[in-house]
Amino acid sequence: EMLTEIWRQLRKGVAIVAIQKDEKATYGRGGAFSAEKARLYIVLNSGDKQNPSTAQIIAAKNWRKPEENPKGKIWTYKLVNGCRFVY
């Protein structure tokens, strides 16, 4: 309900909503319903000593290139100083 309310009140601009998720889950709390109103749904997975941290596009409704679906693309990243994402 909260995401629907944010979506309803947003006239222009961007709302960035962070939803906590279980480490092994694909979607945040609320499951696939949390992606329903999102124009872009990215899941961040923290890495460990053997595996890098990854960002994966789960859903994208407005594609930059109409012929290239970004769904499923994965990038690795490093979090620096707890707030800066480095590709």
Q: Is residue 1's pLDDT more than 80? A: no
More confident residue, 23 or 56: 56
Q: What is the pLDDT of residues 28-75, one digit of tens each?
A: 887 888 788 788 999 998 888 899 999 999 999 889 898 999 999 999
**72 Cβ contact list (under 8 Å, min separation 6):** 56, 57
Please, are residues 77 and 53 in contact by the beta-carbon 8 Å criterion? Answer: yes
When pLDDT is averaged across residues 9-24 and rounded to a whole number, the result is 85
Q: Which of 17-31, 38-52, 73-87 has the lowest mean pLDDT?
A: 17-31
Q: Please tell me the predicted confidence (pLDDT) of residue 22.
A: 86
